[in-house]
Amino acid sequence: MKNKGFSLVELIIVIAIMAILAAAIAPALIRYIDKSRRGDDVQAAATINTAVTATLANEDAYDEVATLMTGSNVIASANAHPTTGTAVFQAPTGRSSFLADLNSNLGNEAPKIKYTKNFGGAAPTGYSWEVLVSESGKPIVGLNVTGGAHAGSYQLQPSIHPSYK
């Protein structure tokens, strides 16, 4: 009577081949996941950009920030990666109409970022959305990374900072 099935050697060979394939595919899969998360963050920045544009259509909100439209003044900011609960956009006093409209346009919740990778150095200590407005009235949305090896601001809308791609 002949045994049906695979020998131990055949099973070990198949497992070894699968391990080699998994080791070869894993880095590509990780890059794909990271790219997808960065894409989600860029889409979240586009949502914020649209909300700011709609907010600036309100005359009262526009008047509150008109003198700050230089492209270098942060008009509003929000925690982009809260550990608990949700975050809303905040700003110094005197911008209540702008903030009320902006948060309302975003559903009273700032989008959370998805890409929080370490970048190969010290881990960042925080992430925040920053909204600026150019002299021509166009919103600029950036992600500010605090602490860590790659601390700094990365513009995500209307154009994407090369280091974030």
Confidence of residue 124 (pLDDT cuts 50, 70, 90): confident
- 160 three-class SS: coil
CA distance readout (Å), 160 to 3, 58, 94, 127, 154: 62, 27, 30, 17, 8
* Residue 93: per-residue pLDDT: 82
Confidence of residue 50 (pLDDT cuts 50, 70, 90): very high
Confidence of residue 11 (pLDDT cuts 50, 70, 90): very high
* Residue 45: per-residue pLDDT: 96
Cα separation, 49 vs 132, whole angstroms: 10
Cα separation, 40 vs 22, whole angstroms: 26
Q: Tell me how crowded residue 141 is: count the other CB atoms within 10 A of its CB.
A: 22
**Residue found by looking up tokens 């881990």 in the block:** 123
Q: Which residues contact 121 (CB under 8 A, 6 or more apart)?
A: 148, 149, 150
Confidence of residue 121 (pLDDT cuts 50, 70, 90): low
C-alpha closest to that of 151 among 117, 129, 126, 132: 126
